[in-house]
Every structure is written in structure tokens, then in C-alpha cells.
A and B are shown apart, each in its own frame.
Chain A
């Protein structure tokens, strides 16, 4: 998609190329950093899961070898990424030298050094989120807050995430901004949709009047807007949107700032989502182990009461579960609680009819 200046007009070809180069470089750096951190976290989680599986005795050497092989492949991929990053940086330095020689002095609120400092602060805040294991909701709320501080023009910030294949409002700093998001998502057009489709930053000088989307919006829509995609690994993406104060326009370096922020935010959101998934897996293991224990206790009770061996006790649980259309775990819970198998519902009904 063609980049536009803060007023929504297409950039001059030279500026366009510089913006594209900056954007590509920033994205590549962010992806590299994201990949490194994700890999470190994945290594840690994989070790935890392996230890759990080994403790349970359901892992074997073959699987361990496969995991080691995958880890080695990750190390090779990391080296290749580093080499590519070195090349990119050399090119970036050359571009920067040429640009400094040609560029006019920047406006005070648009100083690249200030942007760089803000970027470093943002990364620090987001890494703190990752390290403290913040929940997805806390992560989104913090990103909204950081984005509000990062853009001097920002009046409100929102985040939409893909849930079950559909972009859905996930966080917002203002109700009216949520409504502007909801309108775009409902009509399937607007900067949020374009940012996802193009995978790059989209800016409009006036959302309501922009003929790219022809969105009929109330007075809240008469403001500049910037949407940038959140790329969460291979998963369907989300979008970070910044709505400007009425009458304000996004500055010259907004695209670069948005790209940097979206890269860092993508990392934090991606890890929060992975943490959620990892936690769900651990919870599932805990439930499985609890169920095993319960079934084991029930088998022990039945073996003792009925003088059965372990297989016969299990068969009794299984055939009862079939007959009563009940899960073995629920039967086991009943046995452990009441020291006997539950009555069959039909026999209970028969007793009820005997006792009017």
C-alpha cells in the first residue's frame, strides 16, 4: 500500500522509498528480536513440559532426540538471522549518513533522537511485561497506555485481535474510539481492515471524510487516525489504532514510530497468547493427573471390596460407565466419596415407583 503524508496525501517517491526502507528495517529488527525472545521462552517451556512428561513416564528417548534436533535447527536459524541483520544494519547506516547530509533540521516534537529514546523506553516497558508474565488483558492495557504516551497527537488508542478468525475489539482507552473501531469491523472497511490486509501502517488525515472508505461516522470520526498491524507469529494478526485529537495531524515520523511500537507490541501480545496456551496445557495436565489419581483410588476401593484384580476393577468401572452413560472419572469420584458404585438410574426409578 502507498504511504501517505500526515494529511493523507501520497508521499513523494524519494520519501516513499526512505519510509519503506526504514519500515522494512525496523520490522526486520523487531522480528529478529521477537524470534530470539520467543525461542528462549519456548526452550524454557519445552524443558518444563519435558520434565513433567518424564516425571509421569510418558516420554521416551526418541521424542527427546526429536526435540534436541529441533533445538539445534533453531540455533542454526538464529545464526542465519544474525548474519542477515548485520547486512541490513550496514545498509541502514549508509542510508542514514546520506539522509543526514540531505535532511533539513527536524521540528522539536518530531526529533528522531526523541523517537529513539521513546522507542527504548517502550521496549523496556514491554520487556518488563514479558518478564513479569503479565496476563493478556494486562498486556493489552499496558500497550494502549504506552501508545497513548508515544504519540503526542493521540486522543485514544485501541487494539483489535483476531479471535476465532474474526477481528474483534480487545482493548480501548475510550468508548467513542471502541465505537469507531466497531463500525470499521462491522462494515469491513477502514484503516483497521487495510492495515491487516496490507500488513503495514495506514494513516488517514480525517477518517470520516476519507474517500478510500466512505464511512458515515458521527463527529468523533472527524479526526486523523493511524492503524498498524500486530503480527503475532504465524497467527492471524491484530491491529493497534491511534485516534488523534481533533485538528491534530500525525507527524513526519509517525509511520516509523508506529512500526517500531507495533513490532514491540506484537512481541508482548504474542508471548502473552503463548503463555495463555502454555498455561492451558499445564492446567490440562494437572486435570489429567487428578483424574488418574481418582480412578486409581476407585480401582483400589473396588479391588478391596470385591476381591478383584486391577484389570477386573477397571473393567467394572468401564462397563458401568457404558451402561449408565457416565464418564469413568465421574463414577470414580462417586466410588471414592460413597465407597460404592452409583445405582443405575433405571433401578432408582424402579425404587421410586415402588414407593409412591
Chain B
């Protein structure tokens, strides 16, 4: 899948990018609820269900929300003193 934007402003991300989210979330020891809360704290704006669907099935999110999820995970890795970081798409 290539990066593209549909008329509703939803932004597709490469398959490898969304597929990396759930394993990373598990390594980061976060529940979906906790990840959503961190995403909201960083200024993100989507439902828990939409975030979950993106992480588990690659359902597109509007705007640049994928990178905000990545940021939430990377900040968690920072807390855990892990050197792991996920790449941003933008």
C-alpha cells in the first residue's frame, strides 16, 4: 500500500507502518485504552475504536494521526529506557 489521501482526509500509511503498531504496543506494555489516552494527551483526536481499528487492521485515520500514535509509543519507550523507536511516516 502506498501513502495516499482520500477525499475525507483519511491518510493511508504503508502496511508495514500500521502492522508494527500492535507488536510495539505490547512491547511497550500498554493496553489499547492506555495508548488512546496517551494519544489524546499528545493532542490526538479520534475514538478508541478508530485507533484500535487502525492498529489492528490498518483502517485509515484522518490527517497525521498515525504519527501521533507512533509518538505516543516512542515516548513510552523513552520512559522504559528502551532504545527502540518506531519510524514516522511524515
Q: A62-B49, A63-B49 are in contact. Are A288 and B78 (CB under 8 A)?
A: no
Q: Is B38 an interface residue (CB 8 A)?
A: yes
Asked whether B24 is an interface residue with its Cβ less than 8 Å from the other chain, the reply is no
Q: How far is the CB of B3 from chain A (nearest CB, A)?
A: 16
CB distance from B89 to the nearest CB of A (A): 12
Contacts of A287 in B (CB 8 A): 41
Say whether B46 faces chain A, with CB atoms less than 8 Å apart: yes
- A288 in contact with B40 given A327-B75, A328-B71 (CB within 8 Å): yes
When the two chains form their complex, are residues B37 and A285 in contact, meaning their CB atoms are under 8 A apart?
yes
Which residues on B sit within 8 Å (CB–CB) of A315? 90
Q: Does B43 make an interface contact (CB < 8 A)?
A: yes
Determine how close the nearest CB of chain A comes to the CB of B37; give it in whole angstroms: 5
A314-B75 Cα distance, complex, nearest whole Å:
15
Determine the distance from Cα of A316 to Cα of B48 in the docked complex, in whole angstroms: 27
Q: Chain A nearest CB: distance from B86 CB in Å?
A: 11
- Would you call B41 and A292 a contact (CB within 8 A)? yes
- In the bound complex, residues from chain B placing their C-beta under 8 Å from that of A329 are 41-42
Number of contacts between A and B (CB, 8 Å)?
Answer: 54
Select from chain A the residue with minimum beta-carbon distance to B79.
A327
Q: How far is the CA of A288 from the CA of B67 in the complex (A)?
A: 18
Chain A neighbourhood of B38, CB < 8 A: 288
Q: A58-B48, A63-B48, A328-B71 are in contact. Are A314 and B43 (CB under 8 A)?
A: yes
Distance of A322 Cα from B83 Cα, bound (Å): 12
- Tell me, in angstroms, the Cα distance from A311 to B43 when the chains sit together: 12
Of A288, A299, A314, the most chain B CB neighbours within 10 A belong to: A288
Interface residues of B in 28-86 (CB under 8 A from A): 36-38, 40-43, 45-50, 64, 67, 71, 74-75, 78, 85
Chain B interface residue number, banded: 20 to 34
Q: A300: shortest Cβ distance to chain B, in Å?
A: 12
Q: Which residue of A lies closest to B76 (CB)?
A: A327
**Are A295 and B42 also in contact (CB < 8 A) when A58-B48, A60-B49 are?**
yes
A side interface size, CB within 8 A: 27
| CB atoms of B40 and A58 under 8 A apart | yes
Say yes or no for A296: interface residue by CB 8 A criterion: yes
In contact, B78 and A327 (Cβ under 8 angstroms) = yes
A318-B71 contact in complex given A62-B49, A285-B37, C-beta closer than 8 Å: yes
Q: Is A325 an interface residue (CB 8 A)?
A: yes
Beyond A58-B45, A58-B48, A291-B42, 17 extra complex contacts between A and B, CB < 8 Å: A58-B36, A58-B40, A58-B46, A58-B47, A63-B49, A287-B41, A288-B37, A288-B41, A291-B41, A292-B40, A292-B41, A292-B42, A295-B43, A314-B43, A325-B78, A327-B75, A329-B42
Give the interface of A toward B (CB within 8 A): 56-60, 62-63, 284-285, 287-289, 291-292, 295-296, 299, 311, 314-315, 318, 321-322, 325, 327-329
- Which 10 A-B residue pairings sit nearest by Cβ, starting from the closest? A288-B41, A291-B41, A60-B47, A288-B40, A295-B43, A327-B75, A288-B37, A292-B43, A58-B47, A284-B37
